[in-house]
Chains A and B, each alone.
Chain A
Amino acid sequence: SYELTQPPSVSVSPGQTARITCSGDALPKQYAYWYQQKPGQAPVLVIYKDSERPSGIPERFSGSSSGTTVTLTISGVQAEDEADYYCQSADSSGTYLWVFGGGTKLTVL
């Protein structure tokens, strides 16, 4: 079955830039979406269609795509950004079967 691969953890100091990657063979053909999840809470959409930011999401969150890898970038990381981040996409077969990545724990040092 199709998989999306994320690093288990990323650590940055406040004010620095965090980059979280997500790799999958179908990503050149399918959009990626990013969700932030804090402990005990439901996920929140932070990026959709690779690089679009929903209303209410701070500008420091951005997304990009290159080949089989998409990247969530958080510029000027704040303590409140510490959370788990998940990418989401679909397989390339046109059957619209969703998949989530394994998640990345962002630690703000």
Chain B
Amino acid sequence: QITLKESGPTLVKPTQTLTLTCTFSGFSLSTSGVGVGWIRQPPGKALEWLALIYWNDDKRYSPSLKSRLTITKDTSKNQVVLTMTNMDPVDTATYYCAHKAGDYGDYRVDYWGQGTLVTVSS
């Protein structure tokens, strides 16, 4: 059974750096085709894709946020870490990590974490 869980601060101040950790089980991030992505959702708004890391350490970032994001993986710990710099109140959102199935060109997200609400406020 695949599970993912996000962890990190619930409150950050403007200009600070956010670090979120996704701890997963039920799959290996060294298996060909597998990826872990981050998606966020501001309150009452739409989903927004942030970043994705593949089993082979290939990384993809949202063009609009690329300069602020870094995604890394620790296969031995079954963890993926997302950092976002220079946080702003508009970054207030629920942040989800998710499991990507299939091959490279398959964008299927078949398992999601429960999400963690991050509020940016002074």
Contact = CB atoms under 8 A, between A and B. Distances in A.
B81 to A, nearest CB: 19
Nearest to B109: A45
B63 A1 contact: yes
A42 to B, nearest CB: 4
Contacts, number: 64
Contact of A98 (B37, B96, B112, B114): B37
B47 A103 contact: yes
User: Considering the complex of A and B, which 4 residue pairs feature the smallest CB-CB distances, nearest first?
Assistant: A42-B112, A98-B49, A100-B47, A48-B108
Nearest to B49: A98
Interface of A: 1, 31, 33, 35, 37, 42-45, 48-49, 54, 86, 88-90, 95-103
A42 B48 contact: no
Interface string B52-79: 1000000011111000000000000000
B63 A97 contact: yes
Size class of B's contact patch?
Answer: 20 to 34
Contacts of A97: 60-63
Interface in B64-122: 64, 96, 104-110, 112-115
A44 B109 CA distance: 8
Please indicate which of the listed interface residues B37, B96, B107, B113 has the most CB atoms of chain A within 10 Å of its own CB: B107
Nearest to A90: B107
6 contacts: A1-B64, A35-B47, A42-B113, A89-B107, A100-B47, A103-B46
B39 A100 contact: yes
A23 to B, nearest CB: 15
